[in-house]
Chain A
């Protein structure tokens, strides 16, 4: 008695990867559009206070300069941390020179202050005073837009 074992041929199924590649390209395009390399404008050490009235400005500021302040009262300008407000003065004078070279002035520039919610108010006022000594006149305090959720 002999048994004959039948050869069963198993067909190899190939997965069509085209939709997956399409979705991957879609995701890349999505993230490329969203990506923002302006990390210097938003320091992770600074947690802004929230306000229901904080709305984005309708028109962009003329010559905006963003100065951030940590919880300890140290100013941050251009992603560089300074020991105190006085140490910021040479950098602010540089900014004024740049503005003058562009036929503008410190009076036309707007200082945007992004201060940590728990920093001392006096530190913020001292920062404003240092900026005034260099010639800046316009200031704006930045806060997070308070949402209902």
Chain B
């Protein structure tokens, strides 16, 4: 009995549709990609309860009031703290040095508090600049904290 040898034909799979779908997926992901910058946070204290009455703690610095005045366009026109006014292009640097002089070597940093008194129409970016100036500085790539407690005074509607 003769046995026939059956030659198996090679089956070629057409990859074209798979490549098409792959390019569709790639286009989708390229279109939906959004490059976002890293974001950071500044914690602020906004307690609901009023400060308790009684003698002040001698080990605690009284809150430093920082006044930020705005012009008609919302730009910061005056920066005043402890009757000292800071103006010019380097006002935030001088404000930082002033706060550093009050807080000292950092031993009082945990108890130091800054209260921001801002005009209603002041641009929010100036508030962040002020918080940056009083919060600390970057030294040798590390953040050195200056004042950790920051709060807002009650807003005054125009």
Q: How far is the CA of A24 from the CA of B26 in the complex (A)?
A: 8
Alpha-carbon separation in the docked complex, A145 to B15 (Å): 46
Task: Name the interface size band of chain A.
Answer: 35 or more
Given A31-B29, A52-B132, A52-B138, does the pair A112, B124 have CB atoms closer than 8 Å? Answer: no
Chain A, residue nearest B36 (CB): A42
Interface size class of B (residues with CB under 8 A): 35 or more
Q: Are B22 and A126 in contact (CB under 8 A)?
A: no
The binding surface of chain B is classed by DSSP as mixed
A19 adjacent to chain B (CB < 8 Å)? no
A35-B158 in contact (CB<8A): no
Question: Secondary structure at chain A's binding surface: helix, strand, loop or mixed?
Answer: mixed
- Check B118–A143 contact: CB distance below 8 A: no
- Chain B residue nearest to A127 (CB atoms) is B155
Cβ–Cβ contact A49 & B38, under 8 A: no
| B152-A125 in contact (CB<8A) | yes
A139–B44 alpha-carbon span in the complex (Å):
6
Query: What residue in chain B is nearest A55 (Cβ atoms)?
Result: B40
Q: Does B125 contact A (CB under 8 A)?
A: yes
Bound-state Cα–Cα, A88 to B123, Å: 22
B120 near A122: Cβ-Cβ < 8 Å: yes
What residue of chain A has the Cβ atom nearest to residue B152's Cβ?
A: A125
Of A24, A34, A56, A141, the contact of B22 (CB 8 Å cutoff): A24
Chain A residues positioned under 8 Å from B39 (CB to CB)? 48, 54, 56, 114, 142-145
Interface bits A121-140 vs B (CB < 8 Å: 1, else 0): 11011101100100001111
Interface residues of A in 29-68 (CB under 8 A from B): 31-32, 34-36, 39, 42, 48-57
Residue contact B120 to A55, C-beta cutoff 8 Å: no
**B125 near A118: Cβ-Cβ < 8 Å:** yes
B124 & A53 in contact (Cβ 8 Å cutoff): no
Q: Which of A28, A53, A120, A121 has the most CB of B within 10 A?
A: A121
Q: Mark B13-45, 1 if CB is under 8 A from A, else 0.
A: 001000100110110011011101111111110
Please state if B46 and A141 are interface contacts (CB–CB under 8 Å): no
CB-based nearest A residue for B122: A121
Query: Does residue B111 face the partner (Cβ distance < 8 Å to A)?
Result: no
Most chain A beta-carbon contacts within 10 A, residue among B38, B122, B137 = B38
Can you list, as one digit per residue, whether each of B116-135 has a CB less than 8 Å from chain A (1) or not (0)? 00111111111111011001
**Contact surface of B with A, Cβ cutoff 8 Å:** 15, 19, 22-23, 25-26, 29-30, 32-34, 36-44, 46-48, 68, 74, 118-129, 131-132, 135-138, 143, 152, 154-158
Chain A residues close to B by CB (< 8 Å): 17, 21, 24-25, 27-28, 31-32, 34-36, 39, 42, 48-57, 112, 114-122, 124-126, 128-129, 132, 137-145, 147
